[in-house]
Amino acid sequence: MDKILVIGAGGQLGQCLKTVASRRGITEIVFPSETDANILNQAGLQDLLSKEQPAFVINCAAYTAVDKAEDEVELAKAVNETGAANLAIACAANGSTLIHVSTDFVFEGNEVKLLLEDDIAHPINVYGQTKLDGEKAVIALLKSHFILRTSWLYSEYANNFVKTMLKLGADRDELNIIADQVGTPTYAIDLANAIFDVIESCSDAYGIYHYSNEGVTSWFDFAKAIFDISETAVKVNPIPGSAYPTKAIRPAFSVMDKSKIKNTFNLTIPYWRNSLVECIQKLKENNN
């Protein structure tokens, strides 16, 4: 396989890419430190890509603190838009293909329908807007790009909803979880596998693709599944989002249609609950 460079290697998806690369026997892959691969340092990125000469660059670096972004607008914009632009420019100069990870939060999510790649994106929070602006920058600056929008990412690495629920469930008897926000959890290991499948396809079908696990659920049902699978005894109460106001508004329904990525790359996507079982099993093994 041609050489791959991972930006944001220390984050959740970066760690999953490292795990999956090892499982798949992918050795021509570089995971530079954040210092060496700072997406806000245009000259540094140019130097890094010039030195490594990767055929593919995977961008996992992002500002993802959805509520904090409402206050830290400039920082979110710098990382998610300017950083993406910097990387696209460096890729263009070095002839590299960019795989850029984006989000379902580019959509308003006010309609119960499966979201297609060419549906109008209309973000309702700062995080979503900066990610959409990052997509637009990549599209404008680099022809050879794959933009993968994903949703509700979790894994055995870093901080995420699954690990938070398991921690809270161990400490509390009862939890209130929002039941009127609907989407699809995505196991970051599955997304990492899909990214390598795209790379190995040697396809030039550039553009935007949707990738999450299969199926549909609410945060309440997701939490219930986490506790059921992990055999954690905690009472979970469904509440409306209005009962738990957050600084950033979330899409009410952001289930994405995955037909395009499945058909283009002949992918089989796991069902969300099956992947959750796998993740919780890994977490149990890591704790033993």
- Token pair 């990492």 in the structure block, residue: 192
Position 1 scores a pLDDT of 67
Take residue 1 and report the two structure tokens written for it: 């396989």
Position 133 scores a pLDDT of 98
Query: Which residue ranges make up each domain of the chain?
Result: 4-156+186-214+254-271
Percent helix / strand / coil, the chain, rounded to 5: 45, 15, 40
Report domain 4-156+186-214+254-271's class.
Answer: alpha beta
- Tens-digit pLDDT profile for residues 19-43: 999 999 999 999 999 999 999 999 9
- What is the average pLDDT across 266-279? 98
d(CA 138, CA 87): 8
- Tens-digit pLDDT profile for residues 90-107: 999 999 999 999 999 999
Position 287 scores a pLDDT of 84
d(CA 24, CA 51): 25
Across the chain, mean pLDDT equals 96
HSE toward the beta carbon, residue 54, CA cutoff 13 A: 27
Q: Tell me, rounded to whole angstroms, the distance of Cα 89 from its chain centroid.
A: 22
- Tens-digit pLDDT profile for residues 164-209: 999 999 999 999 999 999 999 999 999 999 999 999 999 999 999 9
The angle subtended at Cα 58 by Cα 57 and Cα 64, nearest 5°, is: 140
Take residue 210 and report the two structure tokens written for it: 């949707």
Position 45 scores a pLDDT of 96
- Tens-digit pLDDT profile for residues 7-18: 999 999 999 999
- What is the average pLDDT across 110-139? 97
Catalytic residues: 127
- What is the average pLDDT across 47-69? 96
- What is the average pLDDT across 124-139? 98
pTM over 0.85: yes
DSSP state of 39: T
User: Per this entry, what is the length of the chain?
Assistant: 288
Q: Please, which pLDDT band fits residue 60 given cuts at 50, 70 and 90?
A: very high
